[in-house]
Amino acid sequence: MTGSEVTASSEASANGNPHLDIPKLAETYSTAQNRYFFLDYDGTLSPIRVKPEDATPSDELLKLLKELAEDQKNHIYIISGRDRKFLVQWVGKLRIGLSAEHGAFLRPPPSSGDKVDEWRDLISEQKMDVGWKDDVNKMFDDFVKNTPKSEVERKEYAITLHYRQSDKNDYKPHLETLKSSLSTLSDKYPTLDVRKGKKSLEARVKGVTKGVVINEILNTQGRNGIDFVMCLGDDTTDEDMFEQLAKEKSLKNVCTCNVGKKVKTVANAHTRTQDEVMDILRTLAKSNKQ
């Protein structure tokens, strides 16, 4: 069964990919023996919040992830733009793998019992230059001084400017100037990658993406025998996951699904809302009990 057959539905998005057929997905899931989940966090497992720190996982989400993770056939990874501290605090005790800062860090699921492996720093491993950080910090701080209700989120490698709460008339005059300055800085530092998100700009290390970390996971775990893949994400950074999985021709029953109204995507299915993600998890967790 191909990825498109897993997700076939009569309703298509503006991009033309079908609406996710959850019953058909559950049917494929129930017969699979070696399942992988690659899940974004913000906007996918948790609704987008005005303040990022408010997007903590619900009790139901934690319960569903725990139930799915306890099935030995399942290998679950949350691949997020969040930092390590947040992921460890909220989902670190579950039997799931974690990737922070869009692939900069990777921690596999606990190998046995409560034993937790150390985080891998994929950027340090590749000795990548992050000399641009001081300049980006200053540019973002200047933007915040001139734009009410904007703020900077500083992680170990990535730096994110949020202007979700700002009035368009306040941020628009400064945004194009900032983008131009960042473009000039990118010419100086080839390792600087600037990504536009939902009312945000993120500066991070080029070449380290969510797609790269999926490739790293599959290289480590092995691709043989994988007969179900569920990948969910809502933002432009998640396209890197979808693109990587589209290249993985040896994997069976691959479902890549974009969440929400985003039109341009390479995912082979879509859901309309984040609530539908919870429906997917409920349905698959229920399948475990049958």
Kindly list the catalytic residues.
Answer: 40
Distances (CA, A) of 229 to 77, 119, 120, 145, 287: 11, 24, 23, 44, 16
Query: What is the CB-side half-sphere exposure of residue 250 using CA atoms within 13 A?
Result: 8
CA distance 123 to 226: 28
List the structure tokens of 190.
Answer: 């080839």
Tracing tokens 């000795």 back to the chain, one arrives at 127
3-class DSSP string for 46-62: ECCCCCHHHCCCCHHHH
Please report, as a single letter, which amino acid is at residue 70.
E
Beta bridge partners of 202: 160, 195
Count of CA atoms in the C-beta half-sphere (13 A) of 241:
34
Q: Side chain identity at 284, as an amino acid letter?
A: L
Collect all residues with Cβ–Cβ distance below 8 Å to 286 and sequence separation of at least 6. none
The distance in angstroms from the start CA to the end CA of the chain is 23
Distance between CA 261 and CA 271 in Å, rounded? 8
